[in-house]
């Protein structure tokens, strides 16, 4: 199913296994608790996709904080990323409210208030993850490396690029672009993901190219080509076995 040969040939001597982030796409707290109970042991970070909650568009600060604190408690000391995808006004409200609960907030690279949100998060000692997605193609390795540089200048703590791969060459392009950026002296922590079935290998081996986190799902995928956290942990156990 996965083409690992090419990537095993370029494994670095000092590779680092990425942390696994369990992405939750749940309509209510009960389902989120069930997902964490089943898959939480296989991850180090939990992402709550708050926009997937039933009635999320009607959140007030009070009702949002109540749910966010419940999710945070379920995380049991694992880091919590809060993500919300909606209209600009509601998205930025949620991101600001999240700064009172989350360890990391996910801000889209195209958000007009990105720099302001980053500054506010820094004041509250909350990390920021700037995310950039391309769903219809794979940019070149140089375009990917340049995109990391652009996001770095905007002040985020973690820089994430996820693009769709149509073939193995596409997957290698994003990994090479990630490696080019991560070799810079002042490089920030990055995430590199080739979405789709053809890019699945990137979710396992991207640590060799500088990526620090790999996204997984529970029973409900939140992006094309995801493994569930149990599967991804198993694949990583095998791929990074020389670290044990």
Which residues in 7-66 belong to E strands, given as ranges? Answer: 19-24, 45-49
Q: Residue 84: name the closest of 69, 71, 95 by CA.
A: 95
Concerning whether 133 is annotated as a catalytic residue, the answer is: yes
Concerning whether 14 is annotated as a catalytic residue, the answer is: no
How many Cβ atoms are within 10 Å of 232's Cβ, its own excluded?
25
The dihedrals phi and psi of 167, each to the nearest 5 degrees, come to: -160, 180
Contact 91, 123 (CB under 8 A): no
Q: Give how far Cα 206 sits from Cα of 88, 98, 213, 229, 230, Å.
A: 31, 29, 9, 16, 18
Query: Of residues 70, 78, 122, 133, which has the active-site annotation?
Result: 133
Residue with tokens 């945070």: 72
Diameter over CA atoms, the chain:
52
State both tokens at 104: 């990391």
Query: Of residues 160, 188, 234, 244, which has the active-site annotation?
Result: 160
With a CB cutoff of 8 Å and minimum separation 6, the contacts of 22 are 35, 36, 39, 40, 42, 43, 45, 46, 47, 216, 217, 218, 229
Return the active site residues: 133, 160
């Amino acid at each position: 199913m996965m083409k690992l040969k090419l990537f095993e040939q370029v494994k670095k001597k000092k590779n680092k296994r990425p942390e696994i982030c369990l992405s939750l796409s749940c309509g209510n707290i009960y389902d989120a608790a069930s997902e964490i109970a089943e898959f939480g042991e296989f991850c180090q970070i939990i992402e709550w996709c708050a926009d997937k909650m039933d009635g999320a568009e009607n959140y007030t600060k009070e009702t949002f904080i109540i749910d966010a604190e419940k999710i945070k408690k379920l995380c049991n000391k694992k880091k919590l990323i809060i993500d919300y995808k909606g209209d600009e006004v509601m998205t930025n409200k949620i991101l600001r409210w999240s700064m009172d609960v989350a360890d990391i907030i996910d801000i889209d690279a195209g958000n007009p208030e990105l720099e302001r949100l980053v500054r506010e998060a820094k004041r509250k000692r909350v990390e920021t993850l700037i995310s950039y997605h391309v769903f219809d193609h794979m940019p070149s390795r140089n375009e990917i490396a340049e995109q990391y540089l652009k996001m770095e200048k905007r002040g985020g703590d973690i820089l994430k690029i996820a693009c769709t791969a149509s073939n193995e060459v596409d997957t290698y392009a994003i990994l090479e672009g990630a490696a080019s950026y991560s070799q810079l002296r002042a490089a920030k922590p990055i995430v590199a993901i080739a979405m789709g079935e053809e890019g699945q290998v990137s979710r396992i081996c991207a640590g060799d190219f500088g990526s620090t986190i790999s996204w997984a799902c529970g029973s409900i995928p939140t992006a094309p080509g995801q493994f569930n956290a149990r599967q991804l942990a198993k694949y990583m156990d095998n791929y990074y076995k020389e670290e044990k």
